[in-house]
Chain A
Amino acid sequence: MLSSYIIIKYLNKGGRMLTILFAVLVMSIVFPSVNRLVNEVKITEPQLQYSCTEKAIFVHRKMNKKENYSIRDSFQISKSDYQNGLPYFYLKTLYGLTGYPDSINALPFSLLDLSKEKNSFRMWAKYKARPKVPLHFLFNSNNHPGRLTIPNDAFRFNNKGIHFLNAETNSVDEKKTYIFMKALLEKGFVFPVKHATSYLAIIKRKEEGFFLVDAKDHLFHLRSYDGKPKVNIVKIPFGTSFKDIKSLNSNSVEKYHLIYTTNKNRLGLVKSPDYEIIELPDLGYVPEEHDFLFIEDIENVNIKLSSKGQVKLIALDKSYEEVDTYTADYDTFEDTFWGRLEHNVLPFTVGLAKYKDGFIMPYSMRFISWTNLLVNLVFVLLFLYNSKKQRFKSMHKTGVSLFLCLTGLYGYIAFFFIPTDDV
């Protein structure tokens, strides 16, 4: 009681300083947010694509309503050349006046082949452990395509096994739990589950169930056929340790089951339906930083890694060997006038949510730089010049100057608007 009394009394005296500190923190969150809200212009990142006809990487940039087409940002090309160089992407241009050609690059061309081979999916950079309700739904894989019905139960994983919960009674379905547990254990599954993924949507061509990674980093495929489990083991290369797995969209071509990321940030694909493993070459992919885009056509695979201010394209051939790669930089908000002003005037900035998924995770967007220190000195001089004025008169000059050296504009505003009691 005495200690709390002393603490309260002590904090009571330091209340003004704490108010100033909190005001600085609030300003470091609010000022950059307002700046971005008012002055941010839409910046489109450059489009990079590998041309199978020209054997080169095409770049399409859009700036201030002006479009620029080039090969590797070096040789300017026209819009029609750009579209002609990407025949599988610009099908209308390819059709032209005379209809579709019989062959491209000496390979026979048909729309049916293209529809079988054309495939794309993406993965967004995100904080992987964002809070989710740890309950899953297993659809019936025997349903007629397009007529999937939502199951009347959900399931959970715990350290010991899998539990099915009946939605009607809100209790564990012992029978179904036993059947599925038995099926998994018979195939050598070791609990707890490390990763679980499925493509969850009601409108899809086919239900492919769940992919599970067990405690020993083995990959399993679990499906339900009219309430009966079917478990398949996926043979993965020895020593693979999974960081993340993602089921792929079964609305597009059913060519791949899933994409996985290993602990060494290497990517791999599991092909459908025979579970063939394809290990992609080292792309320099970092899941927390890069947005990943995979585009496949008849001749090539384009993999695009986008991060802030940079896009990297890796072109692969159909045997997933690297053909060409190119990295293009582009201007972001930080390169605009208001961005540079923010960078120089505001000593540090704090963001509340790093990823645009609405989950709060405060992070430092930028910390104090040498330029900021110089700008902060201006505020120190301004304070010293005004120190004889009533508002700043009773303040401790050295202490406030040191504080302003670090906090600059934030500190000056805080001291100006939160004066001492003498004012």
Chain B
Amino acid sequence: MNLFYKEWLKLRNVCIPAFVVALLVVIYQLFIIKNRALLNGSGPDWYATFLAKKTTPIFLSYIPVLLGVVFGIFQFWPETNQRKIRLSLQLPMNNLKILLQMILFGSGCYSLVVIISYSLFLIGNVMYYPVEYVHHLFITLIPLFLGGLNAYVLSAVVVMEPRFTYKINLLILGTFIVLFNYYSPINGSYLYVLKYQPILSAFSLILFFNTANRLQKLSAQ
């Protein structure tokens, strides 16, 4: 519990503003939808929305990855820069458990912010559009959410990595992994690869444990 409080002390400065920003973006997008329906009429708005190759709103797409990177840096930069993690790993607790709790807390905070804002966006859409379209939108938002989660874990990995060359390699690899979720902006384009997305998240997690292990080894030397 104390460990969670320690993590909260680091993340509270970013968690609350991030939530406010995400909420504002969602409200802004919902206003756009409402205005479009009012100006064009509901029928033409439906026609344009369902039949065109609609792309996800740009703010909504990039908010998760931005939050992921910010959360990762805010949580793990002090750990490595002020060498707190070396102290944490000396605690009379299992190291894996400590790391798991740290990453769980961070990803939990990130997920809470993004899931709440995305849910509000979907609920807002249910008011204007049929369930079929909202389901389509839901499928579109999942890879964006997972992309942000990968960005969080990978930015933590890059920040924690003790060797500079390795840091650069991981940064390049991590960038490509995160970019995979932004290859196509068209709604619903990731339907067939959704089942493979957790593999990328699992890989990011493995990288995290691997890096933490190496950090621990180097600090012990």
Residues of A within 8 A of B (CB): 5, 8-9, 11-12, 14-16, 18-19, 22-23, 26, 29-30, 131-135, 137, 150-154, 156, 165, 167-168, 170, 200, 352-353, 357-362, 417-418, 421
* Residue ID in chain A nearest B48 by CB atoms: A150
Contacts known (A12-B210, A15-B210, A360-B192); A131 close to B136, Cβ less than 8 A: yes
Partner of B184, one of A133, A152, A168, A360: A360
Partner of B47, one of A30, A150, A168: A150
**Closest approach, in angstroms, between the C-beta of A34 and any C-beta of chain B?**
12
Q: Establish whether residues B210 and A152, one from each chain, have CB atoms under 8 Å apart when the complex forms.
A: no
Query: In the complex, which residues of chain B have a beta carbon less than 8 angstroms from the beta carbon of A19?
Result: 170, 173, 207, 210
**Closest approach, in angstroms, between the C-beta of B103 and any C-beta of chain A?**
11
Contacts known (A22-B177, A131-B191, A170-B129); A152 close to B43, Cβ less than 8 A: yes
Partner of B169, one of A8, A151, A418: A418
* Residue ID in chain B nearest A29 by CB atoms: B176
Decide if B189 is an interface residue (CB 8 Å cutoff): yes
Query: In the complex, which residues of chain B have a beta carbon less than 8 angstroms from the beta carbon of A135?
Result: 46, 50, 130, 132-133
Decide if B188 is an interface residue (CB 8 Å cutoff): yes
Partner of A154, one of B46, B127, B177: B46
Scoring B44, B47, B49 by chain A CB atoms within 10 A of each residue's CB, the highest score goes to B47
Contacts known (A358-B53, A358-B184); A152 close to B213, Cβ less than 8 A: no
- The CA-CA distance from A8 to B192 in the complex, in Å, is 28
Q: Establish whether residues A131 and B183, one from each chain, have CB atoms under 8 Å apart when the complex forms.
A: no
Partner of B166, one of A22, A23, A170, A418: A418
* Residue ID in chain A nearest B199 by CB atoms: A22
* Residue ID in chain A nearest B196 by CB atoms: A362
Decide if B219 is an interface residue (CB 8 Å cutoff): no
Q: Establish whether residues B189 and A26, one from each chain, have CB atoms under 8 Å apart when the complex forms.
A: no
Query: In the complex, which residues of chain B have a beta carbon less than 8 angstroms from the beta carbon of A26?
Result: 173, 176-177
30 contacts between A and B (CB under 8 A): A5-B96, A12-B206, A12-B210, A12-B213, A15-B210, A15-B211, A19-B210, A22-B173, A30-B176, A131-B139, A131-B191, A133-B49, A135-B46, A137-B47, A167-B42, A167-B45, A167-B46, A168-B42, A170-B42, A170-B127, A170-B128, A358-B53, A360-B184, A360-B190, A360-B193, A361-B192, A361-B193, A417-B169, A418-B166, A421-B214
Contacts known (A18-B206, A353-B184); A167 close to B177, Cβ less than 8 A: no
- The CA-CA distance from A74 to B31 in the complex, in Å, is 65
Q: Establish whether residues B209 and A358, one from each chain, have CB atoms under 8 Å apart when the complex forms.
A: no
* Residue ID in chain A nearest B40 by CB atoms: A150
- B167-191: contact bitstring with A at CB < 8 Å (1 yes, 0 no)? 0011001001100100111101111
**Closest approach, in angstroms, between the C-beta of B36 and any C-beta of chain A?**
12
Partner of B133, one of A14, A133, A168: A133
Query: In the complex, which residues of chain B have a beta carbon less than 8 angstroms from the beta carbon of A168?
Result: 42
**Closest approach, in angstroms, between the C-beta of A115 and any C-beta of chain B?**
30
Q: Establish whether residues A359 and B210, one from each chain, have CB atoms under 8 Å apart when the complex forms.
A: no
Contacts known (A9-B96, A131-B189, A170-B129); A137 close to B51, Cβ less than 8 A: yes
* Residue ID in chain B nearest A5 by CB atoms: B96
- The CA-CA distance from A167 to B49 in the complex, in Å, is 12
Q: Establish whether residues B183 and A18, one from each chain, have CB atoms under 8 Å apart when the complex forms.
A: no
Query: In the complex, which residues of chain A have a beta carbon less than 8 angstroms from the beta carbon of B211?
Result: 15
**Closest approach, in angstroms, between the C-beta of B55 and any C-beta of chain A?**
9
Decide if B17 is an interface residue (CB 8 Å cutoff): no
Query: In the complex, which residues of chain A have a beta carbon less than 8 angstroms from the beta carbon of B41?
Result: 150, 152, 167
* Count, A-B residue pairs, CB within 8 A: 120
* Residue ID in chain A nearest B169 by CB atoms: A417
Query: In the complex, which residues of chain B have a beta carbon less than 8 angstroms from the beta carbon of A11?
Result: 206, 209
**Closest approach, in angstroms, between the C-beta of B142 and any C-beta of chain A?**
13
Q: Establish whether residues B186 and A358, one from each chain, have CB atoms under 8 Å apart when the complex forms.
A: yes
* Residue ID in chain A nearest B170 by CB atoms: A19
Query: In the complex, which residues of chain B have a beta carbon less than 8 angstroms from the beta carbon of A8?
Result: 96, 100, 209
* Residue ID in chain B nearest A127 by CB atoms: B192
- The CA-CA distance from A133 to B41 in the complex, in Å, is 20
Query: Beyond A131-B192, A167-B41, A170-B128: 4 further Cβ-contacts under 8 Å?
Result: A19-B173, A26-B173, A132-B188, A352-B180
Q: Establish whether residues A360 and B173, one from each chain, have CB atoms under 8 Å apart when the complex forms.
A: no
Partner of B42, one of A29, A152, A421: A152
Contacts known (A152-B43, A359-B192, A360-B192); A421 close to B132, Cβ less than 8 A: no
Query: In the complex, which residues of chain A have a beta carbon less than 8 angstroms from the beta carbon of B190?
Result: 360
**Closest approach, in angstroms, between the C-beta of A158 and any C-beta of chain B?**
10
- B101-141: contact bitstring with A at CB < 8 Å (1 yes, 0 no)? 00000000000000000000000000111101100100100
Query: In the complex, which residues of chain B have a beta carbon less than 8 angstroms from the beta carbon of A18?
Result: 203, 206-207
**Closest approach, in angstroms, between the C-beta of A136 and any C-beta of chain B?**
9
- The CA-CA distance from A134 to B130 in the complex, in Å, is 10
- The CA-CA distance from A168 to B127 in the complex, in Å, is 11
Contacts known (A16-B210, A154-B46); A352 close to B183, Cβ less than 8 A: yes
**Closest approach, in angstroms, between the C-beta of B157 and any C-beta of chain A?**
10
Q: Establish whether residues A358 and B189, one from each chain, have CB atoms under 8 Å apart when the complex forms.
A: yes
- The CA-CA distance from A325 to B48 in the complex, in Å, is 42
Query: In the complex, which residues of chain A have a beta carbon less than 8 angstroms from the beta carbon of B214?
Result: 421
Partner of B186, one of A151, A359, A361: A359
Q: Establish whether residues A156 and B127, one from each chain, have CB atoms under 8 Å apart when the complex forms.
A: no
Query: In the complex, which residues of chain B have a beta carbon less than 8 angstroms from the beta carbon of A362?
Result: 193
- The CA-CA distance from A18 to B139 in the complex, in Å, is 28
- The CA-CA distance from A29 to B177 in the complex, in Å, is 11
